Amino acid sequence: MRPVVIAGVGMIPFERTEEGGLVEMLATAGLNALVDAGVDDRPVDAVYLGNMASGLFNHQEAVASALVDSLALMPAAAERVENGPASGGSAIKNGFLAVASGFSDIVLVVGGEKMREVIGPKATDIVATMTHPMAEYVYGVTLPAQAGMFARLYMTKYGITRHHLAQVAIKNQNNGLLNPYAHIQMKITEEGILTHPQAHINNPVVADPLYLYDCCPVSDGAAAVLLTTPEIAKALKKPQVIIAGVGQATDTHALQEREDPTDLKAVTLAAKKAFEMAGAQPKDIDVAELHDAFTILEIAESEHAGFFKKGEGAQALDAGVTQIGGKLPINPSGGLKARGHPVGATGVAQIVELVWQLRGTAGKRQVKEAQTGFSLNFGGFGNNVLAFVVRREA
Amino acid sequence: MRPVVIAGVGMIPFERTEEGGLVEMLATAGLNALVDAGVDDRPVDAVYLGNMASGLFNHQEAVASALVDSLALMPAAAERVENGPASGGSAIKNGFLAVASGFSDIVLVVGGEKMREVIGPKATDIVATMTHPMAEYVYGVTLPAQAGMFARLYMTKYGITRHHLAQVAIKNQNNGLLNPYAHIQMKITEEGILTHPQAHINNPVVADPLYLYDCCPVSDGAAAVLLTTPEIAKALKKPQVIIAGVGQATDTHALQEREDPTDLKAVTLAAKKAFEMAGAQPKDIDVAELHDAFTILEIAESEHAGFFKKGEGAQALDAGVTQIGGKLPINPSGGLKARGHPVGATGVAQIVELVWQLRGTAGKRQVKEAQTGFSLNFGGFGNNVLAFVVRREA
């Protein structure tokens, strides 16, 4: 396989987008990555779009064809890759394969979702269409409900408390305040969301033991990366941030069918594969972006990916290890919790953040001397997971 | 790039499926390909699903995760690839890249669509969501309407008559009678659909000059191929049918923005790329599966892909060149017209037919001594096209 360099990155601020449609959002993020890479008039060979549910959110399909037209990149190949909340990661993997195989030299990967075109609980229903149709969806299971049940089991098993969950939310919203692309720009405290007698008014229950501030917001947003060969990246005078490892694994579609529902096997396997391909270990990672759609997931993923032993993630969090400035900063971007989670954008936005960190251009949230980054994009309720190791080469 | 062999193929009959949901259909086709390849307990590394609109047709997303579970292929990677009516072709392309790159050794590609879960005109609306949202969809344009306008221009420019269109329908429905997987099993005659005074009752107008028998049916269906390396295919004792050429090209998303709407540039370019990669020319092709969603398209594609000069496709058809037994049999399977067009299945079903032909196992519709095949999967109204050259190696 040829090495693959991330030569350009771009985003638009995640928020509730009032103006423009899905394609405009995607095109703007894509254009930002093209400009960042300085591609100029070099032909782009392929466009990969990570998007979960443009049909249901926006009543539009074949959006990749619309995007390639909006960016005037015809006759570039174009297709959408869908893998629920891991659609962005899957799009990057396939863009990576296009370059790694030698089939394409310059590939643009855009991830995005415009979720707020639908009103009220409909977004939660659309997200729930990723659950098992007969074992889960028909019973009214939503993703917050699954996360609540998972959190209850996980917290009981490992002695995790709502204090720990609050620490994830507080850390990530603090990080989000340092990220102009983050949807949620708001400082919170343990008193305000947990210990004050009126905290339950600020922070109502969603699916016990998960409360409002344990859940990521519903956002519109898009992010993009430009993938190419080391030679072309050199000609573009871009830092050699390479995709060193790619791992993907699936697990039972329905959460209830897992022997131990607290064991996120696909996370463990995907991370292991990505580390093996990169010739790296968890201890080599300087900065990580994990898929904290719910606070409990950041803790559970940090353990399953191999950064901490099972049951020790919450202590590491409490000890400040995962803060910017700690030994392993997790979600310096603010994560899904603060940056937001426009479903198809997330896996791409994670890589964008890592590239900024490895280039040393992450501003106030810069992790010092970051050279190797890790991201984890969690599809379904852990039934389809992608992991990446990215590395700045000399 | 490593060579990629199609070591297994499978389908389910295309029809209106009364029993079972989308995932059951996909899993059955996938299982047929796994059994055909004789994979036994070898691990499948990845599953690619070609599907256009499971969200809108079936209110289900992340179907690739459901499929990998139904086939008990976890922890194989899994994702859906969507490219409108070329979703199947795009899924094959990405499965091809996974093997060609060396990232995966055994990849299952399944294409399918369950369209008849929705009632009446809703299917036409869902298919129309692939058109340009502001330039086309808002004005009520449907795919048959676009095809009608295209047909009018193309027929006027090249002197094509309804007699020629009827010849496509008659040939492909005759071929469908030889294909047990074809949805439409019905002999038609030029008298019955065109020249009899009552023909307009059998064959009412859809979008003039296209009538009912010029349009493919709305079908449920699924098809699958198993891709692997020549070494593994040899171990499986399967014929070495390789994907020798892959081409893809895009054109303006909206039909009206093309300088010459009768010029299907993406067809020309995609075919050219596939031929170049395969080191082949149109004259080397023994059998072709083209995307005859509307009869006019078979004629236009046969010219744009390079088999006939512009304006000579209809004469070749009239002369019997494209019949089974002719110099270049087109759509021996019955094509979209008779086999049916469950959107995401089509690009995969075309390759399944070619493999059967190249293996010499196509039964009553066998093209003699077929060694090299060509398929064309037409997305949008020609805005995103895939072409493949497949070849039986010694």
pLDDT digits (tens, 9 = 90+) for B245-266: 999 999 999 999 999 999 999 9
Name chain B contacts of A90, Cβ cutoff 8 Å: 79
Segment B110-134 shows an average pLDDT of 93
Segment B198-202 shows an average pLDDT of 94
pLDDT for position B162: 97
Segment B187-194 shows an average pLDDT of 97
Tell me the pLDDT band of B119, cut-offs 50, 70 and 90.
confident
Segment A212-232 shows an average pLDDT of 97
pLDDT at B80 over 90: yes
pLDDT at B394 over 90: no
pLDDT at A8 over 90: yes
Taking only the tens place, the pLDDT of each residue in A130-157 is: 999 989 999 999 999 999 999 999 999 9
Q: Which domains occur in chain A, in start order?
A: 5-119+221-235 (3.40.47.10)
Tell me the pLDDT band of A267, cut-offs 50, 70 and 90.
very high
Taking only the tens place, the pLDDT of each residue in A101-115 is: 999 999 999 999 999
Segment A75-95 shows an average pLDDT of 98
Measured between CB atoms, which of B64, B100, B137 is closest to A83? Answer: B64
pLDDT for position B60: 97
Tell me the pLDDT band of B377, cut-offs 50, 70 and 90.
very high
Measured between CB atoms, which of B80, B249, B253 is closest to A69? Answer: B253
Segment B371-393 shows an average pLDDT of 98
pLDDT at B2 over 80: yes
Segment B155-170 shows an average pLDDT of 98
Residue of chain A nearest B384, judged by CA positions: A65
The residue type of B144 is P
pLDDT at B17 over 90: no
Interface with chain A: mutation pick from B24, B48, B69, highest number of A CBs within 10 Å = B69
How far B56 CA sits from the closest chain A CA (Å)?
6
pLDDT for position A354: 98
Q: What average pLDDT is seen over chain A?
A: 97
pTM, full prediction:
0.98
pLDDT for position A48: 98
- Which residues, including other chains, have CB under 8 Å from residue B71's CB and lie 6 or more apart? B27, B30, B31, B34, B47, B108
Q: Which of A70-74, A130-134, A225-229 comes out lowest in average pLDDT?
A: A130-134
Measured between CB atoms, which of B76, B82, B246 is closest to A79? Answer: B82
CA A324 → CA A162, A301, B172, B186, distances in Å? 22, 18, 65, 69
Name chain A contacts of B53, Cβ cutoff 8 Å: 55, 61
pLDDT for position B45: 98
Tell me the pLDDT band of A212, cut-offs 50, 70 and 90.
very high
Segment A303-327 shows an average pLDDT of 98
Angle among Cα B27, B30, B35 to the nearest 5 degrees reads 120
Percent of chain A at pLDDT exceeding 90: 97
B1 contacts A101? CB cut-off 8 A? yes
A380 contacts B62? CB cut-off 8 A? yes
Percent of chain B at pLDDT exceeding 70: 100
How far B226 CA sits from the closest chain A CA (Å)?
18
Taking only the tens place, the pLDDT of each residue in A162-207 is: 999 999 999 999 999 999 999 999 999 999 999 999 999 999 999 9
